[in-house]
Amino acid sequence: MPSDGVGHRAGRISGRSPTLITVFGAGIGILAVLTAFVAMLSIDPSEALGRQSAVDATEASADARLIYSRLADVDSDANAMFLVPASAPASATLRDSYQDAIAAVANAINQSVRHERGSDRIGTISTEFQVYQSVIAKALRLNSDATRDVLAAAYAHEASDYLRGTLLASAQRMWQDESRRVDQARSRGRWWLAVSVAMPLVDLAALIVLQRWLWRRTHRRLNPGLLAATTLVLAVLVLYLTVASHWSTASGRLQATETAVRAENATQIQVGDLVAARAEVYLAMGAGVDTTVHEANFERYAHCDRPSGAYRTLCQDQRGAWDQQQNGNAAQRSGAIARVLPGGLVDQDFTAVSRSLQRTIDAQDVVTRSALSRMPGAPPAVGGPASLLAVLAAAGAVLGLWIRLTDYR
């Protein structure tokens, strides 16, 4: 028969144990359920690191850049129409070019809609583009009256400001959204991989501590429910460790894709600046216009402060055209306008710079597609199986502790 001290200690232990087992069981169950929850949430970030996701984001960015480029072309072609009288032979050709540019914008927008990309932005751009066209239509009606050419030029100026300040900004935000999506996919993928691996490790630590505590309390064999739960959590951990290298590779390749897309975006902005420079030339040569601001804008958009290559020739020839317009006689002013219209010397300079930028974009596109081709597919979707295993582990731990609790009844 045990002594009173030993009996008192045994009663104290047995009295506390059921409560502690209940608390520990609830804690283990909550941890395992959280692990299952994290496993389910990790499925989408895992898929976002795959090749198809990267291709979708990259192509959506390309759609947005195309819309941006086509809008910039519209701005340039629209402003060119107001450099010649409505009755001039060149007027019909310029109007046809404008209508072609309008159709190109519509095609670019429809292409993006068919691809189901950037729907919110596309809706905004479509609405804003209709506003722009209505202003240009008003300016064209005014331009048909020779006595109101100054007012027509004012409308054209406002339309150009609206297109560049609103429409082009919307298109640029659209491709920036897609570029940001690629970056976020990479960041989220790394974070969820870390959490997905950390949770099973926490579960394992808790199960080992609880198993050790029970063994020291009862001096019995290991609890079968906790052993089963430990095995299942180990299986969850193994699942994530087997795909960890895949996640890491996908993240690195996605970063290379992101860098390539960012380079294309930067060049596309240069293309937009070039078209803006052309629009500034047309605006500066319009009727009743203070050329100072437009000349300064041209110098900025054409990088005339540090010109190189084709830009240097463009800046020199355009400065000559402005000097001829402002200081020459009527024939020379007409000649200056002819230099900037399609087929003229300045127009040829713009074409040379545009082709140079397009060659850069083509080369960058090769780099982007190469980066995409090296992207692995989405990491294996282990979130579903891992979630099921974690739930089974929770059930095993709770069942094992419940059996242990029945010993106290």
pLDDT digits (tens, 9 = 90+) for 123-178: 888 888 888 888 888 888 877 665 556 677 777 778 888 888 888 888 878 877 76
Question: Are 346 and 324 spatial neighbours (Cβ–Cβ below 8 Å)?
Answer: no
Q: Quote the mean pLDDT of the chain.
A: 79
Q: Tokens at residue 117, please?
A: 């990309």
What is the CB-side half-sphere exposure of residue 7 using CA atoms within 13 A? 4
pLDDT band for 60, please (50, 70, 90 cuts).
Answer: confident
pLDDT band for 218, please (50, 70, 90 cuts).
Answer: low
Amino acid at 356: S
pLDDT digits (tens, 9 = 90+) for 262-320: 888 888 888 888 888 888 888 887 655 667 888 888 999 888 887 777 889 999 999 98
The DSSP line for 374-398 is T---PPP--HHHHHHHHHHHHHHHH
3-state DSSP call for residue 306? coil
The domain spans of the chain are 13-406
pLDDT at 9: 41
- Spatial distance between the Cα atoms of 250 and 377, rounded to a whole number of angstroms: 8
Name the pTM for this structure. 0.64
Would you tell me the crossing angle of helices 51-81 and 149-162 to the nearest 10 degrees?
Answer: 170
3-state DSSP call for residue 373? helix
- Spatial distance between the Cα atoms of 139 and 137, rounded to a whole number of angstroms: 5
3-state DSSP call for residue 286? coil
